[in-house]
């Protein structure tokens, strides 16, 4: 009797062990259920740094005279900027660029026969970088006053930047990650499952576009400098196991 009972118990132990091993193998070989969700972090912000450039030039058949006129124009520009509240250390002038100005010469029958020297063209650029955004915008709008003083000045559109961009990017990554996590939880709940461990997290491209504009995102990341009011965004793709 004892021998039969021992044999029975031994057989049952083998069957249970086989079942457990079979389940373990099945669990290992079965592909895990996963979910991938992309979250968005987005915010509007106002630029706090402006860069504005302008170019001025003079023309004269005599090089020394042309340079003297350029220096006089430079002094007028510097005085104008400082009188309008621009700090002297924010005003940067580039090196002087010089080129000859020639006029093509043609024969009576229209053949090109050479060039005539007219004079020298000297030009220089001025750049202002400042956190006084509104003030520099006003200066850029009213720079036509220099034209009234005889300065041939060409103003370029201002460029706008944000000095705390690194902090903003970290904030948006946090927002995008939280958005993806909440979406994942809701999808899992609706499916009658629960989130397991995080398998991977993939960050998208950082994009900066003009606020309320139809500017498109780019593969390498848009970086708008034309608008003072901007929108920054980033995506985070999270992949979770489902339980």
Q: What is the pLDDT of residues 180-238, one digit of tens each?
A: 999 999 999 888 888 899 999 999 999 999 998 888 877 778 899 999 999 999 999 99
Which helix or strand (DSSP H or E) is residue 80 part of? helix 63-83
- Model-level pTM? 0.77
User: Quick one: DSSP state of residue 202?
Assistant: E
Helix (H, G, I), strand (E, B) or coil at 224: coil
Do the Cβ atoms of 216 and 232 come closer than 8 Å?
no
User: CA 94, CA 81: separation in Å to the nearest integer?
Assistant: 16
Residue 144 has pLDDT above 90, yes or no: no
- Per the document, the length of the chain is 243
Domains and CATH numbers, the chain: 31-46+164-242 (3.30.110.170), 50-159 (3.30.70.2970)
């Amino acid at each position: 009797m004892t021998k039969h009972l021992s044999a029975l118990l031994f057989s049952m132990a083998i069957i249970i062990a086989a079942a457990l091993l079979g389940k373990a193998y099945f669990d290992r070989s079965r592909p895990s259920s996963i979910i991938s969700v992309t979250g968005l972090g987005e915010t509007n912000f106002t630029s706090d740094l402006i860069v504005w450039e302008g170019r001025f030039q003079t023309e004269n058949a005599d090089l020394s005279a042309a340079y003297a006129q350029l220096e006089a124009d430079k002094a007028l520009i510097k005085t104008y900027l400082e009188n309008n509240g621009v700090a002297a250390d924010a005003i940067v002038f580039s090196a002087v660029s010089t080129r000859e100005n020639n006029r093509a010469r043609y024969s009576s029958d229209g053949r090109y026969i050479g060039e005539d020297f007219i004079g020298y063209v000297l030009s220089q650029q001025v750049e202002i970088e400042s956190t006084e955004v509104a003030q520099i915008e006003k200066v850029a709008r009213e720079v036509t006053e220099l034209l009234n003083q005889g300065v041939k000045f060409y103003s370029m559109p201002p460029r706008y930047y944000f000095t705390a961009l690194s902090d903003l990017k970290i904030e948006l990554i946090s927002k995008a990650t939280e958005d993806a996590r909440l979406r994942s939880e809701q999808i899992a709940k609706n499916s009658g499952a629960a989130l397991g461990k995080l398998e991977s997290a993939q960050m998208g491209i950082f994009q900066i576009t003009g606020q309320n504009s139809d500017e498109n995102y780019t593969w390498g990341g848009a970086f708008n400098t034309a608008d003072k009011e901007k929108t920054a965004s980033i995506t985070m793709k999270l992949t979770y196991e489902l339980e």
